[in-house]
Structure 1
Amino acid sequence: MPSFDIVSKTDLEEVDNALANMVREMSQRYDFKGSQCKIERKEAEITINADDDLKLKQMHELLQGHLARRKIEAGAIDYQTAEKAAGQSMRQKAIIRQGIDKELAKRIVKSVKDAKFKVQVAIQGSELRVTGKKRDDLQAVIEHIKGLPLELPLQYVNFRD
């Protein structure tokens, strides 16, 4: 029986490359000269330290641009609320999303069932397995899911006949 998996994975090495390029660009830009702005990643968490709110917004734009160049969608990063650090400086954490959470998985399953495709969708941890009798049904499900307004980037892997 044909099947495929729906996953949401972010390549952390590509995130590191984007961050390195961002640091290099910040060291060369005139508006960042003499500033104490820095960005670092530990596990799946990025910490952004900026001198003020304006620099924080500029760093957001730089990060989004460098991630886009590395083919990482903006929805893969979940920004937490910015907090004040010493003086006027700002600190913000951003989580790199890995896997599909339960609520989103249930929404996807419900959407596929409501569309009355002849497939079964099973939640397996942080990914979904879609199984059907015909390859065309599976491809229709992929097109249906791509049309949904989801904030998380999804990949369709492990397609088997």
Structure 2
Amino acid sequence: MASTYSFDIVSDFDYQELVNAVDQTNRDIISRYDLKDTKTTVELGKETITINTDSEFTLDAVHTILQTKAAKRQLSLKIFDYGKVDAASGNRVRQEIKLKKGISQEIAKQISKSIRDEFKKVQASIQGDAVRVSAKDKDELQAVIQRLKQEDYPVALQFTNYR
């Protein structure tokens, strides 16, 4: 039996689910009456989504569709980092949405500090863009997970490598 148990706190998303959500968004844009003739495009890159449309009104409609499709596929809306709206050629607008992966150093420090303050028998260490939490008791780790799920961090948190 292992003397210590651990898990990792990461911020990640399923890329294939995002591909499916963007594909469904494009299909909705083609079939919706108010967006049909706007020549709106939603393109997924490796780390960004680019929306090109004819007005800020249709951009808001595309945001709503994209967020709905992502939520239905269990993707957190916290992965989207909306950039500023730029004017494109021909009186069109373009917006780039960055996809957030990994936990920044500031948030990792905040998470590990809150764990150390509340749970005295649990150790939290920052490892790159993840936080490893370890303890001798599995119940302590379960309590940490439940506590972190109650908090509202600006990134989507997942709990992996539970052993």
The aligned counterpart of 2:126 is 123
Query: Matched residues in 2 for 1:52 and 1:14: separation?
Result: 28
Q: Which stretches of structure 1, 4 residues or longer, exceed 6 Å deviation after superposition?
A: none
Q: 1:147 aligns with which of 150, 156, 160?
A: 150
Unaligned runs of 5+ in 1: none
Q: 2:8 aligns with which of 2, 5, 25?
A: 5
- DSSP-derived class of the 2:154 partner: coil
Question: Share of identical aligned residues, percent?
Answer: 39
Q: 2:73 aligns with which of 70, 73, 77?
A: 70
Q: 2:18 aligns with which of 15, 37, 46?
A: 15
RMSD: 1.0
Matched, 1:136 2:157: no
Matched, 1:57 2:34: no
Q: Which moved more, 1:110-119 or 1:93-102?
A: 110-119
Unaligned runs of 5+ in 2: none
Deviations 1:76-102 (A, max 9, x none): 111111111124311111111111111
- DSSP-derived class of the 1:159 partner: coil
- DSSP-derived class of the 1:58 partner: helix
The aligned counterpart of 1:39 is 42
Letter in 1 for 2:43: E
Letter in 1 for 2:32: R
Displacement, 1:68? 0.7
How many residues align structurally?
Answer: 160
TM norm structure 1: 0.95
- DSSP-derived class of the 1:31 partner: coil
Deviations 1:97-121 (A, max 9, x none): 1111111101101111121431110
Matched, 1:111 2:117: no
